[in-house]
Structure 1
Amino acid sequence: MTTLPLEQPVPVYSFAPQPVASGSQSFQLIRSAGALAYRSDMLRPHRKDYYVLVFVQRGGCRHWVDMTPYLLKNNAFYFTVPGQVMVKEEPRPMWGTSLVFTREFLALQPASLAQLPLLLNPQQGHELLLTAADVAFVEDTLAKLEAEYNTPGEWQHPMLTAHLTVLLTYLSRLYTQQFPGGEPTADRLLLQQYRARIEENFRELHEVGAYARLLHISAGHLSEVIKAQSGKPASAHIQERLVLEARRLLFHTPQSVKEIAFELGFADASYFSRFFKHQTGHTPAEFRSSREMYP
């Protein structure tokens, strides 16, 4: 079982570009042809503060994302968003292409790009299975991206944006097919905005009314729309996000229940324990003692 040393929080790794022809400080395309898939510091639980998208042509290694194991499949697409907890079991060779970029890079793109399902990832997905036609499309688009990535000039950025938009839009269509969640409407957009605000503030804000104020709407209207769009109360989204973070910390770190409670904005550790048991059916101690990873 891989955990962190006592009292060490889950480290957050920032984007660290390698010297390349494009000189980009917020976007990188990396071809892997049998190189080790991960650095040694990826073998401990960690987070990244940037997006990672990987087309795996040939893999085989296993890793964990938010307590779920994934064995990399050939000709499949994998993606993570900032903040997810990951750990790799061992460094193994991989053949494929990785795209990594920061929130800052995304902010420079058309606003619609950040709202694509693949990047919002409302269903907490990680793996897209590709047909032969999908593989051909992805490989062709990545080849075009790589050609522009290696050709600096005044047209590089708009061309990168164009090809990246095509790729992410195509993959988002696959995402909605493999992780069904409804068509984008005004109310659906409000659900996405609500989830985004929770992601930014769940440690400090635990009440629906606080998020309604952030979104400049009434708490009643927010609750009504969220229930209609998601099938569950608005408060459940906050509670689920708190539980996810609690499970991450209980699973991957040796932090005490009291420390986790305070980190998540609970003033009282016993109340946090009751909250966690009500949501999961287990106390924090029971969940931690029953965790299973790899031998």
Structure 2
Amino acid sequence: MLQGTPVYDICTLSDFRQDDIMVSRFAPYLEHHKNLYAAHRHTFYHVVFFTGGAGTHNIDFEDFEVKPGQIYFMVPGQVHSWSFEGFTDGYIINFSDTFFQSLLLDTAYLERFAFFSGDVSEAVINLPAGAGEKIGNLFEEIIKEWESSPKQTTDLMRVLMLQVFILVNRFKGANPKGPASYNQTLLKNFRKLIEQQYKKLRLPKDYAALLYITPNHLNAVCKDLLGKQAGELIRNRALLEAKRLLTNPELTITEIAMELNFGDNSYFTKFFKKTEGITPEEFRKNILTHNHHD
């Protein structure tokens, strides 16, 4: 399997040998890992809360303005980079996809939070002043636990982190009442299937068959809940992976086209340009130039 950008696991970003979690204040973390300004991706969940600073950060090729009181959430595999202006501080937590499994019976618990869906539009949240103070206090408690070493400190960090997630969810106004509807569950399962099959299956009818519904029903659900056609979701996932792979200058366009099952360069280039308005080569040049200047 081809890799696009540099990929980091928790061990490579920590002076401590603890594979499941890493906690730090943001400024010293940034000072210690200057290589992380350029585009890279992680094998873990990544949460950053800014208490000061300016500039931009980019998640899966979308730019966001850095602001105090802002918190962002990333899932394993997403690509991001930073471009800060002046001194930037806050808190950072990196944790593995198995970190909560020993505490929670529901292994899919994090999927309840839209900001852990991998949808970039849900990932960056600007908190009001009062909320930012509460979240900051919780991060301080997590830092204290991280820097101490009594028994059960990891479990207490888990509990404090869950408080952060639940409170941020409330501040967003995302407090759904009752269980998800049938169509919401259907959409969630469709998105999971896309994540697993987007390199092989490109047609809505293929996914509809796996979901035991008609293609028309699948399209109606996507249109109703997202305002998009089912095919658009499939194409967008393939396009995102193409962008991620294009950030690695050592991969040829042919290798990327083959990895994504496009068959040949011309088909891949046509697909890419139709959506992005530029060729894969032009996109790569823009990204690499951006990284170089940063």
**TM-score of the superposition, structure 1-length normalised?**
0.78
Alignment partner, residue 8 of structure 2: 13
Are 1:142 and 2:139 matched, yes or no? yes
1:23-42 paired onto structure 2 within 5 Å: 24-32=18-26, 36-37=30-31, 39-42=33-36
RMSD over aligned Cα atoms: 3.3
User: Using the alignment, how far apart are the partners of 2:172 and 2:195 within structure 1?
Assistant: 20
- Per-residue CA deviations over 1:30-60 (Å, capped at 9, x if unaligned) read 1245564451332443211111111111233
Question: Do structure 1's residue 74 and structure 2's residue 68 form an aligned pair?
Answer: yes
Show the counterpart of 1:275: 271
Q: Deviations over 1:182-211 (max 9, x none)?
A: x95332233233223322332233233443
Question: What's the CA shift for 1:170?
Answer: 2.0
Equivalent position SS for 1:255: coil
In structure 2, distance between residues paired with 1:260 and 1:210: 23
Q: Which residue of 1 is the match for residue 190 of structure 2?
A: 194
Q: Does 2:110 correspond to 1:113?
A: yes
Q: Is the 8 A contact 1:77 1:128 kept in 2?
A: yes
1:1-295 correspondence to structure 2 within 5 Å: 9-16=4-11, 18=14, 24-32=18-26, 36-37=30-31, 39-60=33-54, 62-89=56-83, 94-108=88-102, 109=104, 110=106, 111-149=108-146, 150-154=148-152, 156-175=153-172, 184-212=180-208, 214=210, 216-220=211-215, 221-250=217-246, 253=249, 255-288=251-284, 293=290, 295=293
After TM superposition, give the deviation of residue 233 of structure 1 in Å.
1.6
Query: What percent identity do the matched residue pairs reach?
Result: 27
Partner SS for 1:104: coil
Judged with a 3 Å threshold, the aligned counterparts in structure 2 of structure 1 residues 176 and 259 are, in CA distance, closer, same or farther, namely farther
Distance 1:62 1:236, change over 3 A: closer
Question: Which deviates more, 98-107 or 168-177?
Answer: 168-177
What SS is found at the alignment partner of 2:76?
Answer: coil
Aligned-partner Cα distance in 2 for 1:165–1:133:
19
Three-state SS of the structure 1 residue aligned to 2:99 is helix
1:59 alignment partner AA: G
8 Å contact kept, 2:37–2:83: yes
Structure 2 gaps, min length 5: none
Worse overlay, 85-94 or 183-192: 85-94
The CA distance in 1 between the partners of 2:171 and 2:249, in whole Å, is: 34
How far apart are the structure 2 equivalents of 1:27 and 1:115? 21
Inter-partner Cα distance in structure 2 for 1:91 and 1:252: 26
- Is the CA contact (8 Å cut-off) linking 1:203 and 1:242 kept in structure 2? yes
Q: Give the total of aligned pairs.
A: 280
Which residue of the partner structure matches residue 4 of structure 1?
A: none
Letter in 2 for 1:222: L
SS of aligned partner of 1:228: helix
**SS of structure 1 residue aligned to 2:119:** coil
Cα distance in 2 for partners of 1:24, 1:85 equals 23
Distance 1:122 1:87, change over 3 A: closer
* Match in the other structure for 1:180: none
Q: For residues 162-186 of structure 1, what are the alpha-carbon distances to aligned partners after superposition, in whole Å with 9 as ceiling and x for unaligned?
A: 3222211222344567xxxxx9533
Letter matched to residue 170 of structure 1: L
> In the aligned structure 1, how far is the partner of 2:208 from the partner of 2:101?
24
Q: CA deviation at 1:282?
A: 3.5
Paired residues of 1:51 and 1:102 also in contact (CA < 8 A)? yes
Note the alpha carbon deviations across 1:96-134, whole angstroms, 9 max, x for none: 211111112144433333331111142444432121111
Worse-matched range after superposition: 31-40 or 120-129: 31-40
Q: Contact 2:69 / 2:132 at 8 angstroms: preserved in 1?
A: yes
Higher-RCO chain (CA-CA 8 Å, sequence separation at least 6):
1
Question: Which amino acid in structure 1 is aligned with residue 213 of structure 2?
Answer: S
The runs of 5 or more residues in structure 1 that have no matched partner are 1-6, 178-182
**Amino acid in the other structure paired with 2:162:** T
